[in-house]
Structure 1
Amino acid sequence: MTPVDSVSVTQAPFGILPDGSHVSVFTLRNRQGMQVKVLDFGAIISEIHVPDRDGTFADVVLGFERIEPYLANSAYLGAVIGRFGNRIAEGRFSLDGKDYQLAVNNAPNHLHGGTQGFHQVMWRAEPFTKEDAVGIALTRSSPDGEDGYPGQLDVTVVYELDNDNALSLRYHAVTDQATPVNLTNHSYFNLAGQGDILGHEVTINADRYLPVDAGSIPTGELAQVNGTPFDLRQSTVVGDSITVPHEQIRIGRGYDHNFVLNQTPGQLLNLAATVRDPVSGRVMQAYTQEPGVQFYSGNFLDGSQYGKLRANSYRSALCLETQHFPDAPNQAHFPNTILRPGQVYRTETVYRFSAE
């Protein structure tokens, strides 16, 4: 891939769903030759091609080449997650004096929106181009009662790729009833484009993290990272820190925890995390408005699903899911995740790619 004179977005068929719906893949390309591919099924980011220090491009996210494996996307590869990213204990919460029971799809808990979730539905796609960016807006209406959630939720997710190799993810939602909302994207990154991520270096801008119980539900404590393998405030090799003996690492089988991001007063987007691959020189920085980021080190990838040219094997990629805190509807001291009629849910995350 080489630099081009202008940005572009193209559409191509990607497959047909069992109900006959036709799925398309949209390719966003900037002037630097960077490409991002997005499906209108699940609002899935299926490919991200970025250059290394020598200008050689590689696809740095996990995904599939056909639609069929995405129909059983138990790892949520590349998808938008909703209504509520991460877990809700026992799928239960109370709101305004009424008890709700959500789908339990990660026994005994509710995970990533439930049995259907936003990752398993068609979205309406509208591509667009600007002088200095290219993108796609994806919209859907989640009906009252979907996976047990109250109210109709109208959602828009915008992916925009600029000419500085930054991919912006903007989320917008409104509701006609009070409902929990916590949207995120579940892309799996491997900046080498192959192998595992144990040699990747990770920095997370967080003084605290959320310890979890055996079911991966936060205990409620906002624990200090000092003296633990969760102190990633300085660049840390994943393969070194993940082997440090610690009860929370044992429970998660590695990293699968939400970090409480440090905030700079008055700053809209805060630097959440930086990932470096020292071999290729690729760097990814994640900026967000969200109060947390879930760092997941691919602990449950087992090679049973074959992705683009290779198996999605153990720790072959990592996730940085910017979000509010897990189980927030049940933990009053966590940042609020309840959206009410007349309010607007609006948040942005930016993944910026470079090489050094």
Structure 2
Amino acid sequence: MAASTITRDVFGTLPDGREVERVVLRGEGGFEARIISYGAVLQALIAPDANGGYDDVVVGHDAFAGYLAERKFLGATVGRYANRIAKGQFSLQGETVQLAVNNGPNALHGGLEGFDRKLWEIADIDEGAEPAVTLTYVSPHGEENYPGRLDVRLTYRITGPTELSLLMEARTDRPTIVNLTNHSFFNLEGATSGTSILDHHLMVAAEQFLPIDATAIPLPEPPRSVAGTPFDFRKPRPVGERIHEGDPQLRNGRGYDHTYCLGRDGKLALAARLEAPRSGRIMELLTDQPGLQVYSGNYLDGTMSGKGGKLIRQSDAMCLEPHIWPDAPNRPDFPSPRLDPGGVYRHHTVYRFSVRSP
């Protein structure tokens, strides 16, 4: 009998007694995606290396207690608004909305208790040729002071032998803003390898990026060309090759923590390619979102233990977060995050793995 493409079990329990479930989706060979219902977190992603082995490439925790104890967004689904909103404030329908300020003077990743801290419902499991799990969350009107009820539906699906697709949709009953992303921290040498991502080779398919101020809010200027700057990844090069240069933007971000302007026009296309030099793993990220946040793990400070009991330090992992641009509710010149009744917010991202040819 063929092995099941999906398994489902209990990963942990919340303090109020509700169970946190884990669903494992299986592709070809040892390729696996493990998703937990708390935060709709991608808890593990097992991908092949060039030597025929498999290893987990997302940083996180082996047990649920780690996710509950510290809010570090490891593998989490982030919302209602991924990234930052200046001063936690924006105007909608002629009214000023004030959000919680939880990142210096700004609002970050949905507020004090964002979607990453919610228990999602497992709404559907598909054990077909492309195994999938669908999770849902209903955010009530006024949650974290965001207007409108938001009904969110998220599907993780194995769409190729070593390919994971993430499709997110949201609907509202009154005008609101929405900007969702997955916040996985990747190390393609392996989550417990203890190696830095600074020697990973990165390509980003973008001609421009958003310069930021010291609080990581985009400056009041148009997107800036990457040409001639440490932000030019149009051709693959090591993440750490220019990260220590004295560029004011690297100082403001403590490294890379910037949005690249993709200009997707709602079409799925290649946004980034990441390759690990030793394992030979390659990850291509395709998305239909207008921006890609490249974050080099600058605030990982070694105070948190991850998988295998290893401390998670600066540059142990990096994020590639597709989403609408930060502070877009306050910038009419940016892609709009507004969602109205009758409309559908959509976000499609694909993580496609391969290995370097001999």
User: Which band: TM-score by shorter chain?
Assistant: over 0.9
Q: Which residue of 2 aligns with 1:300?
A: 299
CA distance in 2, matches of 1:115, 1:283: 35
Kindly tell me: are residues 353 and 7 of structure 1, through their superposed partners in 2, closer, same or farther at Cα, counting changes over 3 Å?
farther
Q: Which residue of 2 aligns with 1:231?
A: 232
Q: Alignment partner for residue 41 of structure 2, among 39, 44, 62?
A: 44
* Uncovered stretches (5+) of structure 1, i.e. residues with no partner: none
Q: Which residue of 1 aligns with 2:132?
A: 135
The residue identity in structure 2 corresponding to 1:237 is P
Aligned length in residues? 351
TM-score normalised per structure 1: 0.96
Kindly tell me: are residues 56 and 249 of structure 1, through their superposed partners in 2, closer, same or farther at Cα, counting changes over 3 Å?
same
Q: Alignment partner for residue 16 of structure 1, among 13, 17, 21?
A: 13
Q: Superposed, which structure 2 residues align to 1:115-134 within 5 Å?
A: 115-134=112-131
CA distance in 2, matches of 1:24, 1:172: 22
Displacement of 1:10 in angstroms is: 0.7
- The superposition leaves residues 52-99 of structure 1 with CA deviations (integer Å, 9 ceiling, x where unpaired) of 011101100011112222124432000000000000001000001001
CA distance in 2, matches of 1:173, 1:167: 20
TM-score normalised per structure 2: 0.95
Displacement of 1:336 in angstroms is: 0.6
The residue identity in structure 2 corresponding to 1:197 is I
Q: Any idea what SS the aligned residue of 1:329 has?
A: helix
CA distance in 2, matches of 1:218, 1:74: 24
Q: Any idea what SS the aligned residue of 1:239 has?
A: coil
Q: Superposed, which structure 2 residues align to 1:104-253 within 5 Å?
A: 104-193=101-190, 194=193, 195-220=195-220, 221-253=222-254
Q: Any idea what SS the aligned residue of 1:104 has?
A: coil
The residue identity in structure 2 corresponding to 1:192 is E
CA distance in 2, matches of 1:119, 1:255: 23
CA contact (8 A) 1:7 1:30 kept: no
Displacement of 1:130 in angstroms is: 4.9
- Is 1:332 matched with 2:332? yes
CA distance in 2, matches of 1:31, 1:126: 25
CA contact (8 A) 1:205 1:262 kept: no
CA distance in 2, matches of 1:224, 1:196: 28
Q: Any idea what SS the aligned residue of 1:249 has?
A: helix
The residue identity in structure 2 corresponding to 1:271 is L
The residue identity in structure 1 corresponding to 2:239 is V
Q: Which residue of 2 aligns with 1:64?
A: 61
CA distance in 2, matches of 1:270, 1:241: 27
The residue identity in structure 2 corresponding to 1:224 is S
Displacement of 1:347 in angstroms is: 1.9
The residue identity in structure 2 corresponding to 1:333 is D
Q: Any idea what SS the aligned residue of 1:240 has?
A: coil
- Is 1:257 matched with 2:258? yes
> What's the RMSD between the two structures over aligned residues?
1.4
The residue identity in structure 2 corresponding to 1:164 is P
CA distance in 1, matches of 2:78, 2:160: 27
- Is 1:95 matched with 2:83? no
CA contact (8 A) 1:125 1:138 kept: yes
CA contact (8 A) 1:9 1:127 kept: no
- The superposition leaves residues 93-119 of structure 1 with CA deviations (integer Å, 9 ceiling, x where unpaired) of 000100110111112100000000000
Q: Which residue of 2 aligns with 1:316?
A: 316
Q: Which residue of 2 aligns with 1:269?
A: 268
CA distance in 2, matches of 1:262, 1:146: 31
CA contact (8 A) 1:6 1:31 kept: no
CA distance in 2, matches of 1:177, 1:129: 32
- The superposition leaves residues 157-190 of structure 1 with CA deviations (integer Å, 9 ceiling, x where unpaired) of 1000134211101011100111110000000000
Q: Alignment partner for residue 74 of structure 1, among 71, 76, 88?
A: 71
* 4+ runs deviating over 3 angstroms: 4-7
CA distance in 2, matches of 1:203, 1:225: 12
% identical equivalent positions: 45
CA contact (8 A) 2:179 2:337 kept: yes
Q: Which residue of 2 aligns with 1:283?
A: 282
The residue identity in structure 2 corresponding to 1:176 is D
CA contact (8 A) 1:225 1:231 kept: yes
Kindly tell me: are residues 65 and 323 of structure 1, through their superposed partners in 2, closer, same or farther at Cα, counting changes over 3 Å?
same
CA distance in 1, matches of 2:249, 2:283: 26
CA contact (8 A) 1:281 1:355 kept: yes
Displacement of 1:245 in angstroms is: 2.2
Kindly tell me: are residues 5 and 32 of structure 1, through their superposed partners in 2, closer, same or farther at Cα, counting changes over 3 Å?
farther
The residue identity in structure 1 corresponding to 2:252 is I
CA contact (8 A) 2:28 2:162 kept: no
